[in-house]
Structure 1
């Protein structure tokens, strides 16, 4: 198998699909609060590295609600594309917004993994996009169905990743000053023990 090159900030765009409270209620594959926190970290990462962001929601007026406020607060200026079908790739607005970025590497986050994540991922792969699924920002109805959906996408050619791996992949060198402060702040706020360690090291080297 040919190795997949590491991503650089000028290559991917972020597609956020159906990160809405009404759908989060149905997530049974993991901790919902952690899932939202991971998605916030992902959105911050996209901002820190100037990735284009496309956001879509569905049934926001009748069941699912708007894009979750914690996520919206990070990307208040990004238009939200409302659609009717489960597969965002079958929505002209979403597909055109992705195409307008000119980027062919797609980073995907969303709910629910079994449908509104996996359907556009499979369709984008079929259209020749390289797709990365940020698995720890996706949630399924059950742990088993979530895992099966991830396996199906991976078998079709998608690459599984996490928000932290993506951030570190885009940064890669802590001497890259233009993104250092933003990347480090995200790690400290959202990366658990690793973030605590970075903050500790900073305070030890530069006390006070």
Structure 2
């Protein structure tokens, strides 16, 4: 199976359900939050659209402040289905964005991230799951989610790998800023 390189004009970032107390229970929580922050900063530098999801915020709480503060100019999509694709407005907006490649971040890798990725693949999107920027409450569930998404056809990537893939060259106008984010 040929894997296409991710390209800036085809790519968007998705941030799924990094909310409330659940976010505080994630395996390697601090690292997870830092990696999602880097991805949001980089998406803005690279002019990638960001699709931000919240699972039933009235019950689970809002997105954690460290991430929410970086997306004040974006409105979250509220959902009750585990898959983000159950949110019809999201699907409409994804299609109208013209973006066919999605970098997925968020929680939990074996539930909402997993189900979203399967539905995105079903919808003919190319999906890269950033292993640095997804998690579950246990390492075992994170690993299971990652394995199942890869078996389904998702590309597994890392923060550094996908950002350098998008820029392609050290001559990219955002190279120095992105490099600083990664240090």
- TMscore range, shorter length: over 0.9
Q: TM-score, normalised by structure 2?
A: 0.93
Partner of 1:19: 18
Q: Deviations over 1:72-102 (max 9, x none)?
A: 2222101111111211111112212211211
Q: Is the 8 A contact 2:78 2:87 kept in 1?
A: no
Partner of 2:94: 98
Instruction: Select the residue among 167, 174, 182 that pairs with 2:177.
Output: 182
Q: Is the 8 A contact 1:171 1:183 kept in 2?
A: no
Extract unaligned runs of 5+ from structure 1.
188-194, 196-208
CA RMSD between the two structures: 1.4
Q: What is the CA-CA distance between 1:16 and the residue it aligns to?
A: 0.9
Is residue 166 of structure 2 the alignment partner of residue 170 of structure 1? Answer: yes
Instruction: Select the residue among 154, 159, 172 that pairs with 1:158.
Output: 154
Larger radius of gyration between Structure 1 and Structure 2: 1
Is residue 145 of structure 2 the alignment partner of residue 149 of structure 1? Answer: yes
Q: What is the CA-CA distance between 1:182 and the residue it aligns to?
A: 2.5
Is residue 45 of structure 2 the alignment partner of residue 48 of structure 1? Answer: yes
Structure 2 SS opposite 1:135: strand
The structure with the greater share of residues assigned to strand is: 2
CA distance in 1, matches of 2:79, 2:46: 28
Extract unaligned runs of 5+ from structure 2.
none
Q: What is the CA-CA distance between 1:65 and the residue it aligns to?
A: 1.6
Partner of 2:5: 6
Structure 1 SS opposite 2:92: helix
Q: Is the 8 A contact 2:16 2:112 kept in 1?
A: yes
